[in-house]
Chain A
Amino acid sequence: MSLDRLATVDGDRTDLDDTSAARAALTRRTSARAASHVLRAGGLLLALGALALTALLSLAVGAKAIPPEVVWDALWRFDDSYDHNVVLGLRVPRTVLGVAVGAALGLAGALMQALVRNPLADPGLLGVNMGATTAVVAAVYLFGLTGVGAYVWFSFGGAAAAAAFVYFLGSRGRTGATPVRLALAGTAVSAVLLGLTNGVVLFHDFVFEEIRFWQVGSLAGRGVEVLVPVAPFLVVGALVAVTLGRSLNAVALGEDLAAALGARIGRIRLRTAAAVVLLCGAATAAAGPIAFVGLAVPHAARLLTGPDQRWLLPYSAVLGAVLLVASDTLGRVVLPTGELEVGIITALVGAPVFVALVRRTRMVRP
């Protein structure tokens, strides 16, 4: 952040002796640091406010528009009317799911980009998305399962298995899981799985019919029954993630420097990868492979926070949730009949904003 740079020692102040100059510089530097932290904390509060607003909007808007005051009553003074049942029974679970999935994807994206230090990295790079898709294809093809609730566990299992294999492959050798090797291993494994699923899907209509809706990513008709099984994984993943900020800051300095500062690179990488799998695997199991959120949100967040992971992680989580819930809400009203899947809207709405951001600003590399 440019604020840090204000704090460099002025060269032309020679009237003070060295000690007091150094002390003054230190004071100025610390206060600038503190100011920038206050600024970023304020920004985070603003983002949380935006999230609350988006969530309320998501409760009010839909096939049947419900006035805000009725929504409010439904939340605090439930009276079993039709509107109240819609809000509490359908929209609250869906919104909660949206917040959870969006936050998980944003967080997982930031972690992934820090882990492989590559701006092209999305959380699916560990093989999570393709692992989940392959498992769902297998569930449909071999066991004839249909419906989202039926393949939550398949999807999570596939995601975890693929990611474990990618990490195993990428972390072999003396140097351990270097960024390039992890990225390549993830790409290779995802490609093999993509080929296998394509091979099945192209020759079996009924699998294609089922999978073409799943693979877009949607929150429609999903609520408690998919949220409950994945919630523990999301919580554990998020808890692991929030403890990683300082360690990832050290890793960003480069392996040698980080090791010299006492960071245990191997363990940090393993914990980061585990958090990505828990968060992204659970989110994918709940809502299907939603592209773009995990990829773009950390870039946008980095514009606001700079490269400090301690701020980047919470910002990414909140902004991811805002993007997903807002997109889901928009998807309900944009078509005259029916809904547009959230996975489509996130990309259609998010991408132009993302491109504009990229054009306007000097990007900060992860």
Chain B
Amino acid sequence: MTAAPLRSVRLGPVAFRLRPRVLAVCLALGSLVAAALAVCLVVGDYPVPLPAALAALTGRGERLDVFFVREVRLPRALTAALVGAALGMAGAVFQSLSRNPLGSPDIIGFTAGASTGAVLTILVFGGGMLPTALGAMLGGVGTAVLVYLLALRRGVQGYRLVLVGIGISAMLGAVTHYLITRAELTDALTAQVWLVGTLNAREWSHVAAVGAGSAVLFPVLLRLGARLRLMEMGDDTARALGVSPQRTQTLALVAASALTGVAIAVSRPIAFVALAAPQLARRLTRADGTTLVASALMGAALLLCSDLVALRLLAPVQLPVGVVTTVVGGTYLVWLLYAEWRSGRA
């Protein structure tokens, strides 16, 4: 893959570097997200024309229009966009830290822990919505902390973190499987449904939760972006360039894990977005390092489009979005790899 051209731009006393291609891709992805948001407001079993939908946003128009647009579709679409962005950015950070294209928040065990916590709550305590979410959060945070502590030995070495994460995730996966094989069929099915992420019936409270998390954590990670790119050149080089690898790594790990945690709490574990979005963004921008903004936008676009498919493909049956993200994201990645070959860039 050839790197995108780099251009210096000078505006009066301010000079900065600009990658035209990265900027173009970000703008394109941004408009895709906006368009997908608009489509989300319009389509459904109760279609609202676009002008009416936009009017309904400000509270004008028919009561039913306003209800559907403002209370049902907008929160769901915003949740999808924010969760997608959070997963995309967290995935980019984890892939950068582990210097591994297969790295994702899953490697720190958060997803496995949350799943085990949730399944345990459902099967053992017969949990409702709230206890299940609580169980998932506890499981996720507990596992992430455990993995981190186990990997901690005179600083966290990226490679060791990955391997410890694999081990702990495998254990938790076994526990989840055990619970599912031993449970009654109906309970097991409930648990299995929980394991596949969904955006059905998301409300403003969900938007508020993921919005607050993003508002705090996005700026933190974006500020770390430049240092993460330097660290991809190797810890020694980064140190020589004035970056403290340990501090950057710890801060980025904590922030990205928290972001994943918020996303999972709101929408359950949605598979594959965190893994695919950074890779897709990287291949589209042809950047030679991590591009956090493009990854976040790609995650948002991916999840919004997947959610539209999940809603409308078999309507009125609503597929869980986690099923669609894997199919849509996976197919897109397959196509992109294939297209790379055809254009001879591979």
Show the binding face of A for B, using Cβ within 8 Å.
Answer: 118-121, 169-170, 172-175, 178, 180-181, 183-185, 187-192, 194-196, 198-199, 201-203, 205, 208-209, 212-213, 215-216, 291-292, 295-296, 299, 340-341, 343-348, 350-352, 354-355, 358-359, 363, 365
Contact = CB atoms under 8 A, between A and B. Distances in A.
B153 A340 contact: no
Interface size on B, as a range, is 35 or more
Contact of A181 (B171, B323, B337): B337
B271 A295 contact: no
Interface string B302-346: 000000000000000101101111110111011001101100111
Nearest to B174: A347
A110 B329 CA distance: 29
B189 A172 contact: no
B334 A169 contact: yes
A202 B192 contact: yes
13 contacts: A172-B338, A180-B101, A190-B330, A194-B271, A198-B320, A198-B326, A205-B185, A212-B180, A291-B173, A296-B170, A358-B160, A358-B167, A363-B160
Contact of B327 (A121, A192, A215): A192
Interface in B271-326: 271-272, 275-276, 279, 317, 319-320, 322-326
Q: 4 smallest A-B Cβ distances: which pairs?
A: A173-B346, A195-B326, A191-B330, A347-B174
Given A174-B344, A350-B170, A188 B100 contact: no
A198 B166 contact: no
Given A198-B323, A212-B180, A355 B168 contact: yes
A363 B196 contact: no
A295 B170 contact: yes
Given A191-B271, A359-B160, A351 B327 contact: no
Interface string B164-188: 1011101101110110110001001
Nearest to A215: B177
B337 A120 contact: no
Contact of B174 (A178, A348, A354): A348
B208 interface: no
Given A170-B337, A346-B174, 8 more contacts: A188-B333, A195-B325, A202-B192, A213-B181, A216-B177, A344-B175, A354-B166, A355-B168
Contacts of A174: 344, 346
Contact of B337 (A185, A196, A208, A296): A185
B193 interface: yes
A192 B170 contact: no
Interface string B149-166: 011010000011011101
B69 to A, nearest CB: 29
B159 A183 contact: no
A104 B170 CA distance: 19
B337 A188 contact: yes
Contacts of B163: 119, 299, 354-355, 358, 363
Nearest to A293: B170
Contacts of A208: 185, 188-189, 192
Contacts of A216: 177-178, 181
Most B C-beta atoms less than 10 A away, residue of A119, A174, A178, A184? A184
Interface of B: 100-103, 107, 150-151, 153, 159-160, 162-164, 166-168, 170-171, 173-175, 177-178, 180-181, 185, 188-189, 192-193, 196, 271-272, 275-276, 279, 317, 319-320, 322-327, 329-331, 333-334, 337-338, 340-341, 344-346
Contacts of A172: 337-338, 341, 346
Contacts of A178: 346
Classify the interface of chain B: helix, strand, loop or mixed: helix
A355 B159 contact: no
A186 B175 CA distance: 26
B337 A205 contact: no
Nearest to A353: B167
A43 B160 CA distance: 26
Contacts of A359: 150-151, 153, 160, 164
A183 B101 contact: yes
B276 A188 contact: yes
Most B C-beta atoms less than 10 A away, residue of A181, A202, A205, A215? A202
Contacts of B196: 198, 202
Contact of A358 (B164, B170, B324, B329): B164
Most A C-beta atoms less than 10 A away, residue of B174, B279, B317, B322? B174
A354 B167 CA distance: 6
B346 to A, nearest CB: 3
B189 A205 contact: yes
B334 A185 contact: yes
A347 B276 contact: no
A262 B205 CA distance: 63
A344 B172 CA distance: 10
B289 to A, nearest CB: 15
Contacts of A299: 163
B192 A119 contact: no
Contact of B181 (A120, A181, A199, A341): A341
A202 B330 contact: no
A184 B279 contact: yes
A288 to B, nearest CB: 11
Nearest to B195: A198
Most B C-beta atoms less than 10 A away, residue of A183, A188, A212? A188
Contacts of B319: 199
A178 B108 CA distance: 26
B102 A181 contact: no
A119 B333 contact: no
B334 A195 contact: no
Given A173-B341, A194-B326, A355-B168, A181 B346 contact: yes
A191 B330 CA distance: 6
A189 B331 CA distance: 7
B150 A355 contact: yes
A198 B194 CA distance: 12
Contacts of B159: 119, 363, 365
Contacts of B102: 118, 120-121, 183, 187
A125 to B, nearest CB: 8
B180 A195 contact: no
A195 to B, nearest CB: 3
A181 B346 CA distance: 9
Most A C-beta atoms less than 10 A away, residue of B271, B317, B341? B341
